[in-house]
Structure 1
Amino acid sequence: MAVALDTPVADFKADATSGQTVQLSDLKGRNVVIYFYPKDSTPSCTTEGQGFRDHYAAFQAANTVIFGVSRDGMKSHENFKCKQAFPFELISDKDESVCQLFDVIKLKKLYGKEYLGVDRSTFLIDQDGVLRQEWRGVKVPGHVEAVLAAAQALNQAE
């Protein structure tokens, strides 16, 4: 079942960079930003990741951890993370289980061809594991700042 606003997000476990395994239930007590992006090392995905990187300290101050998710493999993720100096982990979702939980696989069109791809989306989960805000069909400019403002407001409300 896909996530819904103001309801608990089902616990999930996924492999991430730095040899980590991310489990949502282990993150209780912290707000969580999970952002889904189509592909490592592409222009918009790089710009978005750099935005989260550049505002990382502010997210930390708002008691918020960040995870990027795509269907790329771990080697690609490690290279992308290292090259861009991301201070947060990237989750490899090759089997699309996390993508399906958040319902981000959508029919897309490129040069007239249709395919199933990741819809750029971001989700803000509170300290109790409840989905508090979602952004779907994200346009990169200004997006990270909007997510940060929401994370800061959520942290002040708790």
Structure 2
Amino acid sequence: MQIDDFELPATGNKTFKLSNARGKKLVVYFYPKDDTPGCTVEGSDFRDLYAGFQQLGCEIVGISRDSVQSHEKFKAKLNVPFDLLADEDEKVCELFGVMKLKNMYGKEVRGIDRSTFLFDEAGKIIQEWRSVKSAGHAQAVLDALKSLQEN
């Protein structure tokens, strides 16, 4: 699966452009909201396993609808070594098809379906995980990356 090139504001006063990530593998994970329990677990797990991803020539970015300012606080709090991208207008969320209606406290709300996409060096999606639970997910992505390297 190929995704159209996109550009988003990122932490560290940067702009992330998908096409600039070519040449190495890339994990793009979508999460619902900064500083919430599940997103904290997921972000911490990707942080803790970051060196393992790097050893396999893979970069990571996280995306939510929060502002860059919110991302900066979340990144600093968790000491996250990779960039978080702000998709406030949901354009990239729509591109990946991760927006869905969820049930929250008996109300239907539109939100991000926790999903992860693994890109190869050519910028093609080689694996995707949708509707994931945060606990253990980062390890599952790293394990999949390792098995791809072995084959």
TM-score range, shorter chain: over 0.9
5+ residue gaps, structure 1:
1-6
Alpha-carbon distance in 2 for matches of 1:9, 1:151: 19
1:141 aligns to 2:135 (yes or no): yes
Alpha-carbon distance in 2 for matches of 1:126, 1:156: 14
**Aligned counterpart, 1:4:** none
Residue identity in the other structure for 1:104 = V
Question: Which one of the candidate residues 130, 146, 149 is aligned to 1:152?
Answer: 146
**Aligned counterpart, 1:93:** 87
What is the deviation of 1:20? 1.0
Other structure's SS at 1:123 match: strand
Would you say the 8 A contact 1:38–1:71 is kept in 2? Answer: yes
Question: Which one of the candidate residues 119, 128, 132 is aligned to 1:125?
Answer: 119
Q: How many residues align?
A: 151
What's the Cα RMSD here? 1.0
Q: What percentage of aligned pairs have identical amino acids? A: 52
Alpha-carbon distance in 2 for matches of 1:88, 1:48: 13
5+ residue gaps, structure 2:
none
**Aligned counterpart, 1:73:** 67
What is the deviation of 1:156? 4.3
Structure 1 window deviating more from structure 2 (145-154 vs 90-99): it is 145-154
TM-score, structure 2 normalization: 0.96
Would you say the 8 A contact 1:126–1:154 is kept in 2? Answer: no
TM-score, structure 1 normalization: 0.92
**For residues 155 and 19 of structure 1, do their structure 2 counterparts lie closer, same or farther at Cα, with a shift above 3 Å needed?**
farther
Other structure's SS at 1:98 match: helix
Other structure's SS at 2:144 match: helix
